[in-house]
Amino acid sequence: MIETALQDLWYGFGVALEPHNLMYCFLGVLVGNLVGVLPGMGPVATISILLPLTFGMPPVPAILMLSGVYYGAQYGGAICSILLNLPCHPPHAVTCLDGFPMTQQGKGGTALGITIIAAFVGASFGITEMIFLAPFLVSVALKFGPAEVCSLMLVGLLAGSTLAKGSPLKGIAMTVFGLLIGIVGTDIETGEARFTFGITELYDGVEIIALALGMFGIAEFMNSINNTEAVDMKYAKVGIADMFPSKADLKKAFFPMIRGTLLGSLCALIPGTGPTIASFVSYATEKKISKTPERFGRGAIEGVACPEASTHSSVQGDFIPTMSLGIPGDTVMALLLGALIIHGIVPGPQLISQHADIFWGLIASFWIGNILLVILNVPMIGIWVKLLSIPYRYLYPSAMFFVCIGVYAANNDMFQVGETLVIGVVGYILLRLDFHPAPILLGFVLGPRFEENFRRSLLISRGDLMTFIDRPISAFFLLICVVLIVAQIYVWLRKPKFVEQERAIEAQLPASPYSELTG
Amino acid sequence: MTLTSRFVIKRDYYAGGLMLLIGVGCAVVGSGYHFGTLARMGPGFLPVVLGIVLAFLGILIAGTALASSEPDEAHFLPDNPQWFGWLCILGGPVLFIILGKLGGMIPAIFACVFVCALGDKTATLKSSAILAFGMTVFGVLLFHYLLNVPFPLLRGVNL
């Protein structure tokens, strides 16, 4: 099995190293790194803006580029946390706790250096995990019928909505809301128009780009306008020479890095627990097992290495369920799944065999992209740091223009711009009511496939709902759903200690002028 | 915690109420489509079921807020509502649509960035205009010449 995997990987490098693909991979990680550094911009909005521009491209470079934005943004995100104490990217929020004190002690460069090493170690492990695990998952998933697919999607939707931050009830409500938005348009089986209210443009359904940019673009700008303070660049002076950690620092950071990597890759496998949760869990674990927990929060290098390694290994691992099962774990993955569908690729277990060039090319491009990012970040750190000082008042109007033209370019239709505007206002209202919009996108992307498989499985069983329980794999997935719900009720009623601990860590974080959306 | 404070309007009442409203609305509209049976589901099946589930979740959200004794200090509007800023952010795309249809890409980009930029309280007419000018040049170069987005620069004028 290892031999075939290595052979496939070799083939993947052939795909990823084609000049055209390599260029788009580089472009993706460059743009990703850029938006990662800029406070108030995030990968979700960026990928949505770039998505319509990839319509004319073949699918392989398009997917390589869009994925590159995601993991590239993770490299940039840490810079903001460590140098400015601004948790503008949720997966890196926890890095503020020890990264910024290190900066204040004049060791900001070391923190950044350790971050890059941790990132590379974490990402490498995540990619290796994907190489071996994804084909295995596929061999299991190929046995799935519509009932199993349905139950599996239910697990994905439930986990995505309850394990994310915020109230689980509201998360589930947002998932259902997303499923309902996914219904808008023409019914695939009967051709009846649903929830279109006579608007012809809605017959094709709500545009995924409009939904993502409304919720994660316009709503976000409405939330943070005149709400941001000028960034304090007092400590943000880092040169290349400062970035190489000393031997003692490396020694201290080594085991936390390994632990973070393992925790992160574990979190990636559970649907719904993305990099943000991985970084929190690993920080809490590292603090707990440390012999000197009092150093945490005062510039402990372990407090930087562990969550960063964890974030990156989780980011790469996140692709596993998306690519092998077609079930996205978070917003960015939902968006990438949408991108695959737009490019005419049916996500699911058959993806690896039918589109081997995309799958193995993507994996190979992860390695290449991560190496490019290390190269980009070490010598160019000065430029990234300078970018931090771009004020928000220049950023958001430019971003608004990109939102408008991005949505327009999707269909060359001004109606979509108006649609985005309406979704943005709705998104802001939901945000003010403490709803997190991430599950909406998850529900929206999975909705049509969920309905199709739900109908099909009940058609096969002649309307017998027991089919979901009679089939053992499906029953197992439903059991996971029950466990998820029971666990949530338990947490709500008993408020166990580990939840309180996580709350305590969250309370220590500096307030962010940006909402959670940019993650 | 006194009895009166329990009846203070909490934000979650609005949240639950909104979900209830959307859920009931979807179920009502969905019931207009053919419902079908479990074995042969019509197009109305899922909308009605999901609508009811959402309405039920709305009641649960409001209900848990009622049952919890934790005070909810947050208001629906933020502490310093940015009516002018919001107006500018929403006005930008509206102008983009109108001017894009009537005038073309150049006026659309300029107006969109200019109006959005005015929303910041430190922005001046001059700073916004400079930013808008820069973005227009950049946007035209990128989207018209490099990416060939089908969007005439100026309608009626062949550039």
With 0-12 CB in 10 A as exposed, 13-18 as middle and 19+ as buried, what is B81?
A: exposed
Q: Rounded distance, CA A399 to CA A482, Å? A: 42
Out of A405, A433, A461, the one facing B14 most closely (by C-beta) is A433
Q: Half-sphere exposure of residue A253, counting CA atoms within 13 Å on the CB side?
A: 30
Contact A360, A8 (CB under 8 A): yes
Q: Which residues of B touch A53 (CB under 8 A)?
A: 147
For residue A24, which residues of chain B lie inside 8 Å, CB to CB?
Answer: none
What pLDDT does residue B33 have? 85
Distance CA A196, CA A348 (A): 29
Checking if the pLDDT of B32 tops 80, the result is: yes
CA distance A97 to A117: 19
Phi and psi based region of residue A199 (left: phi greater than 0; alpha: psi -120 to 50; beta: remaining)? beta
**Looking at the partner chain, which of B39, B120, B149 has a beta carbon nearest the beta carbon of A225?**
B120
Q: Taking all residues of chain B, what is their mean pLDDT, rounded to a whole number? A: 84
Q: How far is B2 from chain A (nearest CA, A)?
A: 22
**Rounded distance between C-alpha atoms, residue A413 and residue A209, angstroms:** 13
Which chain B residue has its CA at the smallest distance from A403's CA?
B93
Integer angstrom CA distances of residue A210 from A52, A189, A407: 11, 25, 6
Which residues 127-156 of chain B have a CB within 8 Å of chain A? 127-128, 131-132, 135, 139, 143, 147, 149-151
| CA–CA separation, A324 and A359 (whole Å) | 9
Give the number of domains in chain A: 1
Distance between alpha carbon A385 and the CA centroid of its chain, in Å? 24
- Where chain A has pLDDT below 70, the residues are 1, 164-165, 229-232, 236, 510-519
Give A169 to chain B, closest Cα distance, Å: 7
Closest partner residue to B96 (CB to CB) among A404, A409, A451 is A404
Interstrand relation of A193-194 and A185-186 (parallel, antiparallel or unpaired): antiparallel
Is residue A387 within 8 Å of A394, Cβ to Cβ? no
Q: Residue A149 and residue A476: Cα distance in Å, rounded?
A: 12
Report whether B115 contacts A400 (CB < 8 A): no
Q: Is some CB atom of chain A closer than 8 A to the CB atom of B69? A: no
Is the pLDDT confidence value at B6 over 70?
no
Look at the alpha carbons of A272, A277, A278, A282 in this order and tell me if their dihedral is positive or negative: negative
- CA of A227: how far to CAs of A39, A462, B122, in Å? 13, 56, 12
Tokens representing B61 are: 């959200």
Residues A9, A108: Cα–Cα separation, whole Å: 37
The reported pLDDT for the residue numbered A189 is: 79
Which residue in the block uniquely carries the two structure tokens 């150049």?
B106
pLDDT of A281 reads 84
Distances (CA, A) of A89 to A37, A38, A92, A435, B135: 9, 10, 6, 18, 26
pLDDT at B1 over 50: no
- Produce one character per residue of A314-348: b if its CB has 16 or more CB atoms within 10 Å, e if not: bbbbbbbbbbbbbbbbbbbbbbbbbbbbbbebebb
Q: Tens digits of per-residue pLDDT, B92-128? A: 999 999 998 888 889 999 999 999 999 888 888 888 9
Q: With H, G, I as helix, E, B as strand and everything else as coil, classify residue A197.
A: coil
Q: What is the pLDDT of residue B4?
A: 46
pLDDT at A324: 85
- Report the alpha-carbon distance of residue A369 to residue A361 in Å, rounded: 12
Q: Is A156 left (phi over 0), alpha (psi -120 to 50) or beta?
A: alpha
The complex's ipTM works out to 0.90
pLDDT, position B3: 46
Give me the residues paired with residue B41 across strands: B36
Q: What one-character DSSP code corresponds to residue B10? A: P
As to burial, measured by CB atoms within 10 angstroms (0-12 exposed, 13-18 middle, 19+ buried), residue A466 is: exposed
Amino acid at A13: F
CB B96 within 8 Å of CB A404 = yes
Which pLDDT does position B2 carry in this prediction?
44
The DSSP letter of residue A230 is P
pLDDT of residue A168: 84
**pTM of the predicted model over 0.80:** yes
Partner-chain residue, chosen from B34, B80, B150, that has the shortest CB–CB distance to A412: B150
* CB contact set of A4 (below 8 Å; sequence gap of 6+): none
Q: Which amino acid is at A56?
A: G
Using left for φ > 0, alpha for ψ between -120 and 50, and beta otherwise, residue A391 falls in beta
SS3 state at A186: strand
Domain that holds residue A26: 2-518
CB contact under 8 A, B77 and A180: no
**C-alpha span between A11 and A27 (Å, rounded):** 22
Dist. CA A482–CA A493, nearest whole Å: 16
Average pLDDT estimate for B54-80: 80
- Cα-based distances in Å from A477 to A146, A147, A271, A351, A441: 13, 10, 12, 22, 22
d(Cα A69, Cα A47) in Å, to the nearest integer? 7
Beta bridge partners of B36: B41
What's the pLDDT score for residue B44? 86
